[in-house]
Amino acid sequence: MNTVLSRANSLFAFSLSVMAALTFGCFITTAFKDRTVPVDVRVSKVMLRNVDDFTGPRERSDLGFITFDLSADLQPIFDWNVKQLFLYLSAEYTTKSNSLNQVVLWDKIVLRGESNKLNLRETKSKYFFFDDGNGLRANKNITLTLSWNVVPNAGILPLVAGSGHISLSFPDKYETPKSY
Partner 1 sequence: MLSIFNSIPTHMDYKGQKLAEQIFQGIIIISAVVGFVYGLIIQQFGWTVYIVLTGFVVSCIMTLPPWPMYRRNPLPWQPVIPETSAESSQKKKKHK
Binding site for partner 1 (CB under 8 A): 1-4, 7-8, 10-12, 14-15, 18-19, 21-22, 25-26, 29, 78-81, 153
3 state SS for the chain: CCCHHHHHHHHHHHHHHHHHHHHHHHHHHHCCCCCCCEEEEEEEEEEEEEEECCCCCCCEEEEEEEEEEEEEECHHHCCCCEEEEEEEEEEEECCCCCCCEEEEEEEEEEECCCCCEEEEEEEECCCCEECCCCCCCCCCCEEEEEEEEEEECCCCCCEEEEEEEEEECCCCCCCCCCCC
58 Rama sector, left if φ>0, alpha if ψ -120 to 50, beta otherwise: left
The least CB distance from residue 150 to partner 1, in Å, is 14
The least CB distance from residue 4 to partner 1, in Å, is 5
The least CB distance from residue 155 to partner 1, in Å, is 11
Closer to partner 1 by Cβ: residue 29 or 169? 29
Closer to partner 1 by Cβ: residue 9 or 169? 9
Closer to partner 1 by Cβ: residue 14 or 127? 14
Closer to partner 1 by Cβ: residue 29 or 44? 29
122 Rama sector, left if φ>0, alpha if ψ -120 to 50, beta otherwise: left
The least CB distance from residue 85 to partner 1, in Å, is 15
Closer to partner 1 by Cβ: residue 7 or 124? 7
The least CB distance from residue 158 to partner 1, in Å, is 17
Closer to partner 1 by Cβ: residue 15 or 167? 15
The least CB distance from residue 147 to partner 1, in Å, is 24
| 143 beta partners | 92, 167
